[in-house]
Amino acid sequence: MKIGLCQLRVEPEREKNLEKTAQLLKAAAGGGAEMAVLPEMFNCPYQHDLFPVFAEEEGGETTSLLSRIAREEGLWVVGGSIPERDGEKIYNTCFIYDPDGNRVARHRKLHLFDIDLPGKVTVAESATLTPGEEFTLFNAGACRVGVGICYDLRFPEYARILSLRGADLLVIPAAFSQVTGPAHWEILLRTRAVDNQFYTAGVSSVPNPSLSYLAYGHSMLVDPWGEIKGALGEEEGVLVGTVDLSRLQEIRSVLPLLTHRRTDLY
């Protein structure tokens, strides 16, 4: 499967973000991608007090755009994430659409990012967001895809359960910061790939100096051997790479660590 990692700079205006989103998804399809992945909170600034302002119900402007582009381009669309309003609650949610424009899965971020690195970065997602409660997997042709959002990547239990449930690829829409990104982004994507013997695709927004929160960018595709198959910097653009299921099976065959687990002990 050809996968397109769509990296954009989020603007303060929803309409500008949706215009960029459409352009990048079409560029991914034009580059041969069968699936395209967007960043976390691609339609609004990553700022917890703005999540309620930008929040939409499913079927709103953003999800309607994703469904339409998926259908027009014949593309699997992993819709990064948006602030989703559901009754009185707001979730950090990724909507996934098949090439007919049908919503086939929805991932609500399980682990809310509440951290305080004094003088560097402070985030409190739980001030406005509700955590999800479900693991997310879907089948895109022969490829079984697991979904996590940003902070979910830091929890090895979640990735391992997705692997044991058959995931060939873990997609991670994200907005790692300029502090945590350089320290941990690549390490985490490569470690999850090696430990679970699947591909990882991390897709981040890039920094916008006009916003209070600066994202890291550096979207990348990693294979089950831990090799980086392609990466972007801090520029907007699309990276198209290949999820090679034969390569995955080869690695699992020569290094069958998942079958060597001591389930009698742990």
CA distance 180 to 121: 9
Is 174 domain-assigned? yes
The set of residues, in sequence order, having a beta carbon less than 8 Å from that of 50 and lying 6+ positions away, is 44
Predicted local distance difference test score (pLDDT) of residue 195: 97
Structure-block tokens of residue 265: 């002990």
Q: Does some domain include residue 25?
A: yes
Q: How far apart are CA 203 and CA 194, in angstroms?
A: 18
Contact criterion met (CB below 8 Å) for 151 and 176: no
In a domain? residue 262: no
| Set 44, 94, 143, 150: catalytic member | 150
Residue 130, domain member (yes or no)? yes
d(Cα 17, Cα 14) in Å, to the nearest integer? Answer: 5
For residues 199 and 222, is the Cβ–Cβ distance under 8 A? yes
Flag whether 203 is in a domain.
yes
User: What is the value of pTM for the model shown?
Assistant: 0.96
Examine the residue annotation and report whether 16 is marked as an active-site residue of this protein. no
Number of domains in the chain: 1
Annotation marks residue 109 as catalytic: yes
Q: Is residue 140 part of a domain?
A: yes
Residue 259 covered by a domain: no
Q: Which domain holds residue 172?
A: 2-254
- The active-site residue out of 20, 73, 109, 125 is 109
Residue at 66 is within a domain: yes
Catalytic hit among 6, 20, 40, 143:
40
CB 261 within 8 A of CB 217: no
* CATH of residue 80: 3.60.110.10
> Active-site residue 2, yes or no?
no
Per the CB < 8 A criterion, the answer to whether 80 and 89 are in contact is no
pLDDT (tens digit per residue) in 236-245: 999 999 999 9
Q: pLDDT of 2-35, one tens digit each?
A: 999 999 999 999 999 999 999 999 999 999 999 9
